[in-house]
Amino acid sequence: MRILCYFFAIVLSISLVPSSAHFFPNISSLPPLLRNITAAAGPWDAFKKLVDCNPGDKIDGLGKLKKYFQYFGYIPNAPSNITDDFDDLLESAIKTYQQNFNLNVTGKLDEQTMNHVTMPRCGNPDIVNGTSTMNSGKTTPSNTTSSHLHTVSHYTFFPGMPRWPVSKSELTYAFLPGNQLEADVKSVFTRAFERWSEVTTLTFTETSSYSRADIKIGFYSGDHGDGEPFDGVLGTLAHAFSPPNGWFHLDGDENWVISGDLAVSAVDLESVAVHEIGHVLGLGHSSVEEAIMYPTISSGTRKLELASDDIAGIQQLYGRNPNYNGSAATPSTEQRDTNGAYVEGSMWGLIVLMTVGFVFLFL
Ligand SMILES: [Zn+2]
Ligand SMILES: [Zn+2]
């Protein structure tokens, strides 16, 4: 009985605060207010007032920007106070960010950089423990022209290169029952999985058993118990954990569009799904702008095709689908750092959940 209670406690703890999520079959189904706006405000829009701040400045809001850079790994998680000072820590974070996203490496909060910082993006960090496998961690020259050298592969893995075991090539996925998704929403995920199974020997099958599925897909709002709270409309859109965890979470507060044209305030569900499945399978972020694994996506755009960089990365992990006729990018001859950079959403979130389970056990 006690074991049964424990089991339910765990299930309960990972099923907290499911979101009812906002889905729109197409743009014309968006409310007029959302359809007609030309610039959607996200949680990071306030950063735009910091454009052209200079080193040495102390300006209200710089502390929040530092927290943003800390969240995505650009400032170490040191216990030091986060202040509103434009210090060396911030300048260094800006330079690394600019390298990773192929921007001019100025160390300044120029307009180009701030326009990029405020874009909606995946909630997974780009850097872990100060080591980046995106551009800034490469040995190739990191000036502004390097982004145009497409001969170098930029795909990355989680530290330790985790993957689903060989015995698990037939993966199952399920949707959080509390979300009560319609068939047209589920079919978006089916199509997204197909993009990855087309190029590898992996297969993906939906199962009705959420607790037993390898990949658990859920829409959540705000803090949902894994230490990586969502932030409302735009900002972070989704996140996913490294194999063999299988957690794949989406922000239930976004205006998710299922097909057709897009509005500036809405996010294309399939584009985000394809990206997050890359994480579920073991890929980290790429500096190649065309790659699905690039961390940002403009609202109102659709990006579904795996780029050669994505294909090369996933085939390095799982091999090639013999029926796949396309070609992957030639892997770079440079030394790849597979241990450095990128840890998925926090494992301490898992520890918190386990703790909750134990608390229930002793109640
Ligand atoms: Zn991501
Ligand atoms: Zn989550």
pLDDT at 34: 57
pTM for the structure as a whole: 0.81
Is 154 annotated in a binding site? The answer is no
**Lowest pLDDT segment from 70-79, 242-251, 271-280:** 70-79
Query: How does residue 150 score in pLDDT terms, banded at 50, 70 and 90?
Result: very low
How many C-beta neighbours within 10 Å does residue 348 have? 11
Tokens coding 324:
């796949």
Is 254 annotated in a binding site? The answer is yes
Closest ligand to 276 CA? 1
Q: Please give the mean pLDDT across all residues of the chain.
A: 81
pLDDT at 259: 81
Q: In this predicted model, which residue has the larger pLDDT, 281 or 326?
A: 281
Closest ligand to 217 CA? 2
Is 22 annotated in a binding site? The answer is no
Q: Identify any residues that bridge with 171 across adjacent strands, giving them in sequence order.
A: 204
pLDDT at 13: 45
Tell me the CA–centroid distance for residue 56 and ligand 1, in Å: 33
Query: How does residue 289 score in pLDDT terms, banded at 50, 70 and 90?
Result: very high
Residue given tokens 């145009």 in the structure block: 148
Q: Are 250 and 240 in contact (CB under 8 A)?
A: no
Query: How does residue 152 score in pLDDT terms, banded at 50, 70 and 90?
Result: low
Tokens coding 333:
């001859």
Tell me the CA–centroid distance for residue 239 and ligand 2, in Å: 6
- Domains of the chain by range and CATH? 20-37+126-135+156-324 (3.40.390.10), 43-119 (1.10.101)
Tell me the CA–centroid distance for residue 327 and ligand 2, in Å: 34
Is 225 annotated in a binding site? The answer is no
Query: CA angle at residue 227 from 155 to 231, to 5 degrees?
Result: 80
Cα–Cα nearest to 245, from 225, 205, 208, 216:
216
CA-to-CA dists, residue 9 to 5, 6, 87, 210, 333, angstroms: 6, 5, 45, 15, 49
Q: What are the E-state strand segments in 230-274?
A: 238-240, 247-251, 255-257, 267-268
Distance, first Cα to last Cα, the chain? 13
Closest ligand to 247 CA? 2
